[in-house]
Structures are given as C-alpha cells and as structure tokens.
Chains A and B, each alone.
Chain A
Amino acid sequence: MATIVEARNLKKYFQIERGLLRKTAGFIKAVDAIDLTIKKAEIMGLVGESGCGKTTVGKLLLNLIKPDEGEVRIGGVDISEKHADIDLKKKAQIIFQDPYGSLNPRMKVEDIILEGIDIFKLYTGKERNKRLRRLLDIVGLAFSAKNKYPHQFSGGERQRIGIARALSVEPEFIICDEPVSSLDVSIRAQVLNLLKDLQEEFALSYLFISHDLNVVRYISDRIAVMYKGKIVEKAESGKLYYEPLHPYTKYLLSANLSAEPKQRFKKLAYEATEKDVADEGKGCIFYPLCPVSRNICQEINPSFEEVEPYHYVACHLYNR
C-alpha cells in the first residue's frame, strides 16, 4: 500500500532563555528524532500527555514549523523544497482542537470554508458555489450556514466548519489535532462518526492526535505513544491497548478511566517517585519514572525496535 507520509529523524528543539539578557540556558527537545510512516487510507493515532511534542509533530508535518533536523515527505515529495509548497497545501490539511479559536470570527462561513479554493483560484463562479454546497452537505450543515458567522454556531458545528475547510482542497492526509477534546460527549460521537465516514468515503489518511486513549483506540488503526519528544511504542491499536509493552504505555493505560462501576477503587499502577538522573541526555528518557529500570537504562538510550510483528518499542527490557 502506498505511503502518504514519511518522516525521518525529525528533530525540533526550542531554546530556553533565561535572565534579563535572554541568554540561551538550554534546549527543550520538543521533538527528538521521530520516525513516522502513514499509509494511504490509514488512521495513525498519536497519544501522549501535555508537553510530549505531539502537536509539534503535527505542525512539522505540515511545514508550519521548520524542523532542525530530519525530513518529511508527503506523497513522496520532500516538503522543505520551495516548489513543493503548493502541492503540499493541497495534499495535507489540519483540523484543530479549539472550535472557538480555529475560525476567524469576522469571516463568513462561506469564505472560511472556501479560503483554500480562493487562494489557489481552483474554482470560480458556479463551480465554486457547487463546491460549497457539496462541502456543507458532506459535513451535515445547511446551505444557509454560508452567510453566517462562527459565533452563531455551537462547538460541534464549528468543528464541522473546520472539517469542511480542511476538505475543500481535496487533501489525502489530514492532521486531526485533538478534534473532539473540547466537545461535549454527545457531540463528540457525532464528530467522530463524521470523521470516520469521511475517511472511508475519500480514502483519507489521518494523524489523530489526542491525550484520550479511549478515543484514539476507537478510531485509529495504529497508535504511536509519545513521551518527552520521543516515540516509545508503536503498534496496532487493539494490540497496544490490551498488550502494551513499554512501561510508560502501561502507566498511561493504568491511569485511563472508563465508564464502569468497577473503576470505583481502581488505583494508578504505582506511585511514580522521580529518580534523579546523573547525566541528562544519556539513557532512556523514561528512566526517572520507570518502576522496572535497570542500570543500563541510565547509560544507554534504548533503540526503537520491532520486537513483535508490527509492534515497536524503545525499551531495554525488550531489546535484543
């Protein structure tokens, strides 16, 4: 199956500035050597807690931020090349988390949705109108919505407008950055159904970024778990959920709550007390909080290996 997205050795560091003169005190490794491949019509979930770098990965894949190292290929083309820019816009799009900040409050819905088409002058006149009608129809909004402003819609409806906007340029790949996290539970279901339907109808690939394991597990084919800028585990979604390997994934899953009464006295797997690290930069990034660490974990950074069919982990417990 064709590969739509290929990212190799992606790195993005941010400087920490301290003091009055804003001297560089160090670096935050927001994204630290990430490899990612997404196939056509595949939904890849990206899961992690705040600060793990998952949103930065999304922006890097879209060329909204430039990486410090590494390359990204979408549809086989290196996105950092200047001439690739226009094609990139049409191939890869993004949906945001915040339905209130992702739409320009002073633009009509029609202009918001058709902005991509207008910028590239893809369609004009009657054809443009037809496209608008089709897009609104696809996301389940009335045609009369086109003359209204964002504040006249609810959170779920705004999210639909954002989806229509992303679809307008007929992309092959959409980054969904926490698209349902800000929505009520009942609306969440509607948007997830819509995303699923669209993916099937148009054979889209998604990078579904979220901190909610339950949602990610439901919608994704494969899941990658991120911790402090690195991918620590990657597997098919059911396998990851029921047979996690990496200690961090297990920790995350133990904290995951579902709507069942037997959760009543479910405690976190262990009380993680942070161990001191002699030399930051050496060793496994999860070492400070890992309950099953060994000496080697402090010294050497484990490599990301396929330890079971299609199941990758970066952990000395499993490394050959």
Chain B
Amino acid sequence: MSRVTRSWRRRTAYLGLSIIIAMFIVAIFAPYIATYNPTQTNLRPGARLQSPSREHFLGTDELGRDVFSRMVYGARISLTVGFVAVGIALLIGVTLGAISGYFGGWIDIVIMRFVEIVMCFPRLFLILMLIAFLGPNIVIVMAVIGLTGWCGLARLVRAEFLSLKQRDYIQAARALGASDFRIIFRHILPNALGPVYVSATLGVGGAILTESALSFLGLGVQIPNPSWGNILTSGMSYIESAWWLMLFPGLAILITVLSYNLVGEALRDLTDPRLKGYE
C-alpha cells in the first residue's frame, strides 16, 4: 500500500474513532447533555417547528419537542441496537465457527449446512413478519439482526481456525498435554479474532442503519420514544418547511455509520499480513 493511502487511512480512522467516542459519551451522558425532556411536547403557539436557535440547537419538531434532546437520546438507541445485535451475532458466530473449524469432520459439515440455511433467511422480511405478529418492538429488531447476522462471522472464524490449527505451536501445546478446551480458548481464539474485529465493527454500522430504516418505517422504536429513524419520519412530512427535521438525523446516521466503516477498514489494513517488514 502506498504511503499516501496509508496515511489517509490512518487519519480517517482517527477521525472515525473520535466520532465514535464522542457518540458514546453523548449516549452515556444523555440526561446531562440534553437540554430538554425529549418527549415533552410544547403545543403553545410558535413553539412548534422552530428553526435551530440558541435555545433549541437543532430546532423543534411538529409537536414542539426539542430536536437536539431527541437526537441525544436517539443516540442511545442506535448504539444499543448496534452493540447488542452484533454482540449476539458474535456470540453465536464465533462459537459455531470455532467448533466447526477446530473439530472438523461431520461436526463441521453439519454446522456449515446450518450456516447456509440461515444465510438464506430474508432478514428484513423476517423482522416485518414478527412485528406484524407481535407488534413493533426494539427487542425483536435487535434479536433478529443478531440471530441472522452471525453467518459471515462463523465462516471467518472457521477459516482462521482451519489454518491456525496446523501451526507448530498448537502441536507443541498438544505435546505438553493441553486439552482441546485450552487449545481453542488460550491458543487459537486470541489469534483468530483479527478479522472478527473488522467484521464486528462494520456490523455495528450495518445494524444502526437497519434500525434507523425500521424506525423510519414505524416498525422500530415507537413514538414518543426518539430514534434517529423516527425523527426522520416526521421530517418527511415537513421536508420543505422544516428542513432541520430531516437533515440532522440523516447526517447523524450517515456520520455514525461512516465512522464505523472507516475504523473497520483501518482495522482490516492493520491486521493485514503485510506486517512482515524488511528482511
């Protein structure tokens, strides 16, 4: 990779990382950062659809609620969904991939066929179906994204296990009497997680996007609870008069997902076997 590309990667990665950290702080300290109660409506004349001002940084929506505060609490939702969904995917994917890659044989065959079946599930339709039956629920969204999103991770982990299994230090551990459990968790797994970090990071971005889309359609977070997606919904109706209702949540989603992608890409480059150096 040329020097220019490398420094560009590094700089954008730091930028992305800073944004992610900032987002975290905002989400954790939401009650202290928000200027108003996000669900408190204000129907007095003139309070609705105010453009951004010093009192309302990002303006107010059609029910007089402060957009900035709603955005801040919305960050909580986005990050929670992102991390819980990916967390579920990691748990399932890494475990199955490790078992499949390590033991091989019929265990490997069975698990891989299972992976292929799950991969065929149309995720969005599944979510829509469940919501139709059980009503809109953020937990369903998180669960389904997680339960259908682990397949790529499983394959990645399996591939790493297959190649690392042959390394001499694994043979050495066996010769010293290490149990399968010890070899999997102490020796192979720490070395196999490289591509997982990348995939997981990119996965968070994807999960946030999915949640926003669903909330936008009214199938995720329900009003009056704020999510970037459902702020966008109201924004649609007032697109010409109250541009701030569409712009800010839209930007927030864009910047957040982009940040995760930048960090993920940088991680991918870092864990590249090009770290051989001169010699």
Contact = CB atoms under 8 A, between A and B. Distances in A.
Direct contact, A vs B (beta carbon within 8 Å): yes
Interface in A87-119: 89, 92-94, 96-98, 101-107, 115-116, 119
Contact of A106 (B168, B174, B182, B190): B190
Contacts of A119: 176-179, 182
Q: Which DSSP category, helix, strand, loop or mixed, fits chain B's interface?
A: helix
Contacts of A105: 191
Contacts of A96: 168, 171-172
Contacts of B171: 59, 64, 94, 96
A67 B218 CA distance: 64
Contacts of A107: 186-187
Given A104-B169, A104-B191, A105-B191, A120 B175 contact: no
B169 A93 contact: no
B167 interface: yes
B129 interface: no
Nearest to B188: A104
A30 to B, nearest CB: 16
Interface string B139-173: 00000000000000000000000000001110111
Contact of B168 (A89, A93, A102): A102
A290 interface: no
Contacts of B182: 119
A56 B220 CA distance: 59
Most B C-beta atoms less than 10 A away, residue of A62, A98, A115, A119: A115
Nearest to B182: A119
Contacts, number: 54
A147 B171 CA distance: 23
A31 B187 CA distance: 30
Contacts of A75: none
A74 to B, nearest CB: 12
A75 to B, nearest CB: 16
A115 B178 contact: yes
B169 A103 contact: yes
B177 A93 contact: no
Interface residues of B, number: 17
A119 B171 CA distance: 15
B172 A102 contact: yes
Nearest to A116: B176
Contacts of B167: 101-102
**Size category, A interface:** 20 to 34
A97 B169 CA distance: 11
A106 B169 contact: no
B275 to A, nearest CB: 10
A162 interface: yes
Given A106-B190, A119-B182, A94 B169 contact: no
A29 B189 CA distance: 34
B180 to A, nearest CB: 13
A50 B172 CA distance: 21
A157 interface: no
Nearest to B173: A115
A165 B176 CA distance: 9
Interface in B178-224: 178-179, 182, 186-187, 190-191
A98 B186 CA distance: 21
A101 B168 contact: yes
Contacts of B175: 62, 64, 89, 92-94
Contacts of B176: 89, 93, 115-116, 119, 165, 168-169
B177 A116 contact: yes
A98 B168 contact: yes
Contacts of A169: 176
A292 interface: no
A165 B171 CA distance: 13
Nearest to B189: A106
Interface in A165-180: 165, 168-169
A228 B122 CA distance: 53
Contact of B172 (A86, A120, A165): A165
A85 interface: yes
A93 B175 CA distance: 6
Most A C-beta atoms less than 10 A away, residue of B167, B173, B177: B177
Nearest to A115: B176
B168 A85 contact: no
Contacts of A104: 169, 173, 187, 191
A105 B188 CA distance: 10
B106 to A, nearest CB: 14
A165 B175 CA distance: 11
Interface of B: 167-169, 171-179, 182, 186-187, 190-191
6 contacts: A62-B175, A85-B177, A94-B172, A96-B168, A104-B169, A120-B177
Interface of A: 59, 62, 64, 85-86, 89, 92-94, 96-98, 101-107, 115-116, 119-120, 162, 165, 168-169
